[in-house]
Amino acid sequence: EKLFHNRDHSDVQTLNSHQAEVITDKYKAELFLSRYGFMKPVNWEEIQFEDSHTSFSGDFLNDLQATIQEGASVPHSRDAPQDDYMIPTESEAFASALKEFQKVSGLPVTGVFDEATKVAMNKPRCGVPDTEIDLNTAVAAENSSASDIENSPGDTYETDSNNTSEAVRRR
């Protein structure tokens, strides 16, 4: 702590109690990979909407109902995994998912949960899975590889060599 602070304590960094769980081991890495669509989670429930009318399987309603109540009161629990299912570690599926993640993230493709991969997994990122998941369907797309666009070097265009246009400054 600094000896002297601003009069209004604006320089005091309040320790934010809500810190994201750091991904440090294979289990959490698997959660990350399945959550973002790099590997198929084994036993998430599959909930489908039907085209003509909207019907739900019973579990969905219960889960959602629980969600609504929970949101109101249950404090953020840190230690136990949020839901009571376990994801079995299939080393092959895990390794190939790791390779996929490493490849699209521009990391050395080792298939091993190494330091560089750990750092990449802990970076701030968007919460939308890399293979887009239907709103409440928990099953990632069949093709576990990220179905993102990996751009092959498309056409290039002239880079602007003249002075930066004033719009950039203005924006």
Partner 1 sequence: KRHLAALVSKSRRKRDLGETGYMAFSKKVLKWRLIGEGYSSQLTVEEQRYIFRLAFRMWSEVSPLEFVEDTRSPLEDIDIRLGFGTGRHLGCNQRFDGTGQEFAHAWFLGDIHFDDDEHFTAPNAGSGISLLKVAVHEIGHVLGLPHIYRPGSIMQPSYLPHESVFEMDWMDRKAIQHLYGGCKGRFNTVFDWIRREKTPYGEVVIRFNTYFMRDGWYWLYENRNNRTRYGDPVALQIGWRGVPLDGVDACVHVWSRKRDAVYFFRGTQFWRYDSENDGVFTQDPEGHRYPRLISEGFPGVPSPIDTAFYDRRDSHIYFFKNRLVYAFDVEANSLARGFPKNIRDVFPPVVSGDHPDGNIDAAYFSYTHNAIFLLKGARFWQVVGSRDRWRWLFLPRNGLLPHKEVDQHWFDICNVHPTALKL
95, 109, 116, 141: residue in contact with partner 1 (rule CB under 8 A): 141
DSSP at 7: T
Number of CB atoms found within 10 A of residue 168's CB: 8
Choices 1-9, 63-71, 87-95, 107-115 (CB under 8 A): range interacting with partner 1: 63-71
The b/e string for 139-167 (b: 16+ C-beta within 10 A; e otherwise) is bbbeebbbeeeeeeeeeeeeeeeeeeeee
Is 103 within 8 Å of 77 (Cβ atoms)?
Answer: no
> Does residue 58 interact with partner 1 by CB under 8 A?
no
> Does residue 54 interact with partner 1 by CB under 8 A?
yes
Residues that bind partner 1 (CB under 8 A): 16, 18-23, 36, 48-49, 51-54, 63-64, 67-68, 70-71, 74, 76, 82, 104-106, 120, 122-128, 130-132, 134-137, 141, 146-151, 154-155, 157-162, 165-168, 170-171
